[in-house]
Amino acid sequence: MQHFIGQTHNGTEVYVELIGTEAGRQVARQPQLLSLTKEMLAHITVHGSDISIEYDMQRPIGYSSIAPTTDQNVVFYGRLLKETIFTRFVKNVKPHATRYLSIQLLRSQTGSYELTDIWIGRLRPAQPGSSAETAEGKQYWANHAVIYADQHLQLQTVTKVCPY
């Protein structure tokens, strides 16, 4: 089910597939992301086929689920349900307020864009083990983690040993 979100500053239409996509899952958890994205789109100009954008909304819009980590933090790894890659988690850390909204867009054959991912917080590289993994991403994820807040994990995959 494709849903029209809005147009960019240069008039390009942006849609989101609400069923079966990462962006759709994020919107289902946080419906306000659609209105924030529409507001953001009006201020940005897009070019290219695969775009990642971080935008400062100039006001607090929510809490980032990613936190920097140190040796003092309790860190563990596990696979989220229905995922094939390991995620690095940190316990006992509170999310911090942020003004940033990050999105990923993919240009369609019609010239419009599909929102493929969205989150509250700064841009971040792909996780190790994903198809978009980079050396910079490995370095980033060695010092950052998803704040654990009762996410549904594949329990047999939980480990304190880094799997990558």
Residues 6+ apart with CB under 8 A from 115: 5, 14, 15, 16, 23, 37, 103, 104, 105
Q: What is the DSSP string of 89-116?
A: EEES---EEE-EEEEEEEE-TTS-EEEE
> What confidence score (pLDDT) does residue 49 get?
94
87 lies in some domain: yes
> What confidence score (pLDDT) does residue 82 get?
87
Token pair for 29: 């958890």
- The whole domain housing 32 covers 2-157
107 lies in some domain: yes
> What confidence score (pLDDT) does residue 94 get?
95
Mean pLDDT of 139-146: 97
164 lies in some domain: no
The percentage of the chain sitting over the pLDDT mark of 70, rounded to a whole number, equals 100
> What confidence score (pLDDT) does residue 84 get?
94
Mean pLDDT of 156-161: 97
24 lies in some domain: yes
> What confidence score (pLDDT) does residue 119 get?
97
The percentage of the chain sitting over the pLDDT mark of 90, rounded to a whole number, equals 96
- Check: CB of residue 121 under 8 Å from CB of residue 68: no
Give the pLDDT band of residue 1 (cuts 50, 70, 90). confident
> What confidence score (pLDDT) does residue 86 get?
97
163 lies in some domain: no
Mean pLDDT of 13-17: 97
162 lies in some domain: no
How many domains are there within the chain?
A: 1
List pLDDT tens digits, range 58-97.
999 999 999 999 999 999 999 999 899 999 999 999 999 9
